[in-house]
Each structure stands twice: as C-alpha cells, then as structure tokens.
Amino acid sequence: MKEISSENHSSILRDSHDSIRFFKWDRLFCELSTMMPTLIKLLLALVRDKSNTKRIILVCFIASILLKKRLGKMALLQRAVSVLLYGNGCTKQVYNCLQPLMVCLSHSGTLRLIDRLSQEHDIKVQEWSDSLRNNLKQHQVDQFGRPSNILLLSEYDDVEESDCINLEMTNNEEDQEDLIDNVVDETNDMRSMAKVIHNLDIDDCVDDILLQEAVPVTNVSSQCHDEVIIEDGSVQNVDQMDNDSEEWHGFKIVGDNLDKNFRRSFQRVDSQTVSQHYFHMYAVKDRVDMSHLSESPSDGAIDIAKLLPLETDHEQMTKEFSILISRFLVQNMKRFENNKKDVVWHIDHKYAAAMKVKSTIVPLGIEFKNENKIDEMSQIMDNLHKYVPTVQVIRKVSLPNGDTFEYNDTNMWKTLFGGDQLTVARARTAAYVRDDHDIASDKLHGLVPVIEDWHARMTFLKVIWKHLYTTRSASDRGTLFQLRNILHRTSVPSDPQDNMNAVEDFLEVVLVGHVIAAAEKVYVEGMTVNEVSEMIVNKFVKLRPNENAKSQDSINAYACELLTLSLIWFNFYDGIKEGDGERIIRIWKYLMVIFRKNGNRNYAKEAAALLISCNFTSSERIATQTITSRFVNTKGRAGCNLPCDLHMEHLNRRLKGIISKMESNVHRSSIERAAKAIGIVDEICRSFGDEMMTHKSDKHKKPSYEKDLNLILDVLREDDVFSVISNRKHKFVTVQQCMLESINNDNVADWIIDNIIPLFI
C-alpha cells in the first residue's frame, strides 16, 4: 500500500482525467492485485459470493476506501461513484451522507469533477474533422452539392432524346415553379419522361462561363479554413480517395429538441411554470470504412419505379418474414422446439461485422435555442458548421471577352445531420431561407439533413392503431382492443406515443398469436418449420398491390392485415437491431406508400426524399453513409444496435433527470456542463449497471408471455380467423381490403413527381 500510494507511482487510482473516463472494474482489480497482492488475497479469502464479479467488486471497494483514507488523491472509485450518483439525479443530501464514509466525493467536489470532464468534450470530433479536411485538400473533392442533372425515368421505357423536355432554369423562383408545373402537367402518365437541367449555383453574372482554374486563397482571415490549390473544371469528378493508410474518421451529427418544464415552488400570477426548449446533440463515428468511395455527385437520373416496392423487394421481404416467423414457431410451438438449429437468428448482411462493433459517441452539448423557430434553427446549424470540414478557395473563371473573373468559393465535406421528421424539416427550411447568402457556410450547405428510424417506427405504430384499433370494438373478437382487454393490458394507450414500450410489447404477443394460429391452419404432418413459415407468408401476407382483391370475409381480412402490418413492423425492428441499413431502406419504400395512404404527408415526403437521396442524387459516400450510419451500438455485440434518434432520447432522459435534481442550482452554466459531460456520465452509469446485473444477457430479460399467448390463441382458434367465411364482419372495425393491396403505383408516382421531385431541382 505504501508503494501504490507513493507520489512517484503513476497509479490509475490517482486523480487522473483519463482514468475516470475509462473506468472499468477489471482494470481496477488488476491494479490493486498487482500492487497489493497480500491485502487482495486476504480480502478475497474473507469475501464469499457465488458471483466472482460481485466478489471482485466488493474487494475493490474495500481496498479503495482504505487507499482513500491513507491518501486523499487515490480516489478513482469514489469519483466513479460520484459520477454514478450525479447521472442518476441524487440530491445534495445523499453526497453529504456518503462522503464521510469515503464512498464518494462531496457535492461540490462532484460538480468540480463534472466541470473537468466537460472540458474538451468535443475534441474527438474536431480531430475527425481535421482528418477529413486533409482529405478534402489532398484529393480536391468538389462539393457543389446537388447533381447537375435531374432525369425522371419511366417504369418501363428507355430514355430517348426526343422524349425529354429541357428546361432553362431562371433566377426567379416564381418562374422556376411555373416551369416545374408545366413539366408536371406533361407527365401525368408514369410512362412519360421529363429531363430537368439544373445549372450549377454560381453568381448570376457567369451563367454561360466555363470554370477553368482556381488559385489558393491568400490573406484570408479564418480560424478554421485552410488554404488549398484546386484545379477546377465545370464539374469535378473524383472517383476514389486513396486513404487506405489512415483510419477512416467519417462521422455523423444527431440532434433533437429537449423540452423541460420548470415549476415554481411557490406559484404566483407573475411566477408560473416556465417551459424551456433546448437542442441537444451528439456525434457518432462511422463504423464502416468509406475511404474508397466516390465523392462525385450522382448524375441525378431518377427512376420513379425504383422508389416503389418492386417484385424483388416483395421477394426479399417474404424471405425475411419467413425467417422471423420460423423464430416464433420454434420458440412457442412444441412440435418445432427441436428445430432451433434450423432457424436463422441473425440475418446476415453486407456490413454485419462492422455493426457488431461498439459505437464511438461524443456529446456535443446543448444549444439554448428552439428548433421550431427558423431563425434559431439557422443559428444551431451555424454553430454545428464548426465541425464541418471546410476548405476555402478563390476560383478564376474566363469570360468570353478574355477577361478573368475571380470569386471566393468553399469546398465542404458534406456531413450528415440526423433527426426526427420535425428536426429534418426545420433544418431543410433553414437552409432554404439561407440559400441567397454568398458564403457556402452561411448557406448551411455543409449539413445534409437525414431522417432517422425510431420516430418513423412510432409513426408506423400510429398508422396500425388508427387502422385497426378503436375503443368501440370491445365486443369485436380478435380485434386489438378486444385482445387488449382480455389480457388486461391497461398500459396500452389509444395513442402509441403515450407508451411506446407497452404498445410494442403488446403487438409482439399479438403477432406471435396470429403466427401460431396461421401455422395450425396450414400445417400438414411432416412439414418442416421453414416450409410452414413460407406457407404462412404466401397464403396470408398481403404485400403486392391488387385493387380487385376485396374479401367477402372482413374478419379474415382483418387478421391478414394485422399479420402483414405487424410483420413489417417487426422486420423494421429486427433490421435496426442487426444494423442492416439496406433492409431498413427497403422497408422505407413500404412505409412511404403506407404513410401516404394513411394521410401522414410529412413522413411520406421524408420517406420519398430519403429514397431519392440514397438511390439517385447523393454521392456514393453520402449514400453509403446514410445507409450504414443509422444506428449506434452501445454494447459492442451483434443484435444490439439502436436507432440514432432513440439513443438521443436516452441521453435526453438522463439529462432531464440530472436537471430535475439541480433544484435551485439550475442555470445555463450548470445545464451546459451536464450536457457536455453526459457521454462520460452515461458510460459510467452503464458500466456500473452491466457489472452489477444478476443475469447477464445481450438484451433485457422479459417475463414470459405464455399465458397471454394462450388467451389470444383461444380467441383466434374459436373464431377461426384464418378461414374465409362469407359475410363475416366486425361491428365497429371493417377491413375489406389490405392497405398495401389498395395501393395504386401510378398515383404514388404522380405524387412523387408533383411534390417530391421539385425539392431536388
């Protein structure tokens, strides 16, 4: 103990900035057992526990208290416990009671520690940005943004020059809208085509000028922009970036609003509850290496048909449904319980190995601004632009008369900015408002808004509830509300947003019940679990448009609709867990047509914009990053991915808990300090939680729903919902045709041309 407490010994137990950042029980035990073997052996002999992990933790705790008593600076464990208490919103009184026992620091000491941890909170993101800026300089990447050509293709026809309509874009916005309307009028039939030429956004005086060269910026005063020499053409084409010798440092920024009500202890007429609206952010590093991908903008050819669910999409979805159904069958049917080895538990995909890696997440703090106000959203994006790798240049253009015209320009490394539908819409509007500014950073062109998945999943649940759930259907057997009542699931609300966990837990057991009921209907002696799964999908799942498929049995149609929509929801959920971005983008095709059919116009538009960006208008790198960076993995194991916006909600919840316990100490500096340190606080809280869990697993252990499942099966079997019996119907819920069967692809294509394509031209 004397040696480890010596000032000359560099122990991790000392008051070190890095030690607390990387606190782990195994590192602490290794240090103690190496430096104090006799004491540790004695404590291990005294402490008896079935769990070696808990035994080691208790030994470390006792030894750390003794070290803290001998030398005050040997307080790694006490600092970690203080962060744990801070992260879980403990009051000042808790610190005052535990600090004399050497369990934690004092309350003021904890605040000083959090203040230290919040310093240089974004240093990693700045390093990533610097690395990407070097790529930008070395490889001369052109960052004009939107593609130079937008080409609408028909579903079947090939493109011919005579079938194209060329539009000369003007600088007058109203003229542009008139021209777009003219194109839309001439493209009512999906098989017609339009070709819209969008000129590069340069100064008005150089409309017909060929860009020839660029020279480095000289005497430019900027704290974050570097000088570069760029050889420029009208459009740069850089197919590859040779960066194999360096680690890839691409990243994405995610943000969401944080709304907090501050209630007065003593309310008066002039002193009421105050509602504050902040904006919380973090950055997540790419887990997929994209150094070899092209930065060149796409040619912009948009095939409308490929935005809709194709036959290949239907086939792939049915394969995935079969796999999911086979899992339910081996887990819940005795005749298949010995076939678990035949079931695929993790659907493989191109980036499966990368998605097992734990994500590197860096908190970016909080902005005291409201995203619902466009001017404040513009300021938020202005502040985020400090992380956008940028290179400033002076370009030279040759005029037809031989003169040379120079103007300042900026090359930017496009950075994804993720959020829910509202955040993405506000970000896009803020960029549109700033579009007439001269400087690229002022135009907010460095951030590319991209919609995330968790809020979309919640919106999809709302669609299911609106379509199939009504509180009037308590007497309609087999409906969601009737099943909710017989299971006494009182926590399941009429609006899924009010209790998302309860809704998803309820829908899962209802889905499993319908799968088993369908399996009992199609099973023939000798069939394998995979054959039964495929039979269920082929017979009862309705994915393909079929306007004439109106059922005479409304109860059977309801069961098939519930099975179809629930499988789409569960496939979405499973794809997120596996980090399967390509599967998620495919599901967005179905979500787009479903949202449009159900009247969720904003989410339908964002779905279409996402599909166009991924498939047609973005560079190869941006498209791949949009697909692969939709998830974070906080565990470092397969099947443990979360949507980026859900992780944002988790951070918001922890930050709100911390703010709630600040009591009279709530002010901007304390909130900002907590937001900057939230990453380390959350990591330490997770570390304690993972180590202290009684049962370790890759996921939360749920109680069995076997009894619930049997009650559901009793109803479904008695009503024989998967048999077609003419003229059956529910009293308050009527389904004659499944939603996806009623989709008219021509109408959806016209809607895309009318409402979505103008956003890209």
* DSSP per position, 56-102: HHHHHHHHHHHHHHH-TT--HHHHHHHHHHHHTT--HHHHHHHGGGT
**Final residue of a structural domain among 378, 406, 437:** 437
Cα angle at 658 between 653 and 661, to 5 degrees?
Answer: 125
Tell me the CA distances in angstroms from 507 to 467, 472, 511, 515, 571, one per residue in order: 14, 19, 6, 12, 13
Checking if the pLDDT of 182 tops 70, the result is no
Backbone φ, ψ for residue 281 (5° rounding): -140, 155
Residues 475, 521 share a domain:
yes
Judge if 410 and 554 occupy the same domain: no
Residue 178: its H or E element: helix 173-185
- Residues 323, 285: one domain? no
- Say whether pLDDT at 600 is over 50: yes
Q: Which of 542, 539, 543, 507 is nearest to 523 (CA)?
A: 539
Say what percent of the chain tops pLDDT 90: 50
Residue 317 is given by DSSP the state H
Q: How many distinct helices (H) and strands (E) make up the chain?
A: 27, 13
In degrees and rounded to multiples of 5, residue 414 shows phi and psi of -60, 130
177 and 105 in a single domain? The answer is no
Report for 182-186, 267-271, 350-354: range of highest mean pLDDT = 350-354
Tens-digit pLDDT profile for residues 736-751: 889 999 999 999 999 9
Query: Dihedral sign, CA of 24, 28, 31, 37?
Result: negative
Is 271 within a domain?
A: yes
Q: Are residues 463 and 588 in the same domain?
A: yes
> Residue 264's pLDDT is what?
79
Q: Give the tokens for residue 155.
A: 């579903």
Give the pLDDT mean for 631-659. 93
Residue 567 lies in a domain: yes
CA distances from 420 to 254, 469, 584, 628, 645 (A): 9, 25, 16, 17, 7
Task: Please identify, among 72, 96, 118, the residue that sits at the C-terminal boundary of a domain.
Answer: 118
Structure tokens at 629: 């960076």
User: Does 655 map to a domain?
Assistant: no
Residue 242 pLDDT more than 70?
no
Q: Which amino acid is at 571?
A: N
Average pLDDT over residues 718-727: 93
> Rounded mean pLDDT of the chain?
82
Alpha-carbon span 454 to 460, nearest angstrom: 10
The answer to whether residues 372 and 392 belong to one domain is yes
User: pLDDT tens for residues 150-177?
Assistant: 455 544 344 333 333 332 333 333 333 3
Q: Over the stretch 371-386, which tens digit does the pLDDT of each residue have?
A: 999 999 999 999 999 9
* pLDDT tens digits, 72-117: 777 888 888 998 898 888 888 899 899 898 889 998 899 888 888 8
**Is residue 55 included in any domain, yes or no?**
yes
Q: What are the φ/ψ torsions at residue 259 (nearest 5 degrees)?
A: -100, 130
Which of 135-149, 194-208, 355-369, 656-670 has the largest mean confidence?
Answer: 355-369
Which residues are registered as beta bridge partners of 302? 152
Six-digit token string for 627 = 């697909």
Query: Residue range 522-534: average pLDDT?
Result: 94
Q: Are 521 and 559 in contact (CB under 8 A)?
A: no
**Residue 188 pLDDT exceeds 50:** no
Q: Tell me: do 331 and 373 sit in the same domain.
A: no
For residues 158 and 187, state if they share a domain.
Answer: yes
The mean per-residue pLDDT over the stretch 365-369 comes to: 94
Lowest mean pLDDT among 12-26, 465-479, 618-632: 12-26
Residue 180 covered by a domain: yes
Same domain, 326 and 273: no
Q: What is the pLDDT of residue 707?
A: 95
- Answer with the one of 56, 84, 118 that is the final residue of a domain: 118
Does the structure show a pLDDT above 70 at 216? no
Question: Can you give the residue range of the structural domain that contains 44?
Answer: 2-118
CA neighbor of 621 nearest in space, from 68, 358, 249: 249
Q: How much is the pLDDT for 686?
A: 79
Residue pair 414/364 in contact by the 8 Å Cβ criterion: no
- Which one is predicted more confidently, 382 or 142? 382
Residues 6+ apart with CB under 8 A from 347: 320, 323, 574, 575, 578, 580, 583
State whether 258 and 281 are in the same domain.
yes
Residue 700 domain-assigned (yes or no): no
> For residues 190 and 416, what is the distance between their CA atoms, to the nearest angstrom?
32
pLDDT, greater one: 345 or 167: 345
Asked if residue 240 has pLDDT above 80, the reply is no
∠597-602-607 over CA atoms, to 5°?
Answer: 75
Strand partners, 279: 257, 367
pLDDT band at 11 (very low <50, low <70, confident <90, very high): low
Given this model, what pLDDT does residue 662 score? 81
pLDDT one-digit tens code per residue, 403-446: 888 877 788 899 999 999 999 999 999 999 998 887 777 888 88
Q: What is the mean pLDDT of residues 212-225?
A: 37
Asked if residue 573 belongs to a domain, the reply is yes
**204 or 672, which is more confident:** 672
Domain total for the chain? Answer: 3
Lowest mean pLDDT among 425-429, 465-469, 561-565, 666-670: 666-670
Mean pLDDT (whole number) for 108-135? 89
**Model-level pTM?**
0.82
Residue 238 in any domain: the answer is: yes
The answer to whether residues 114 and 139 belong to one domain is no
Instruction: Give 759's pLDDT tier (boundaries 50, 70, 90).
Output: confident
Q: Which of 280, 288, 251, 255 is nearest to 387 (CA)?
A: 251
- Examine the domain organization and report whether 29 and 162 are in the same domain: no
Host H or E run for residue 54 = helix 52-70
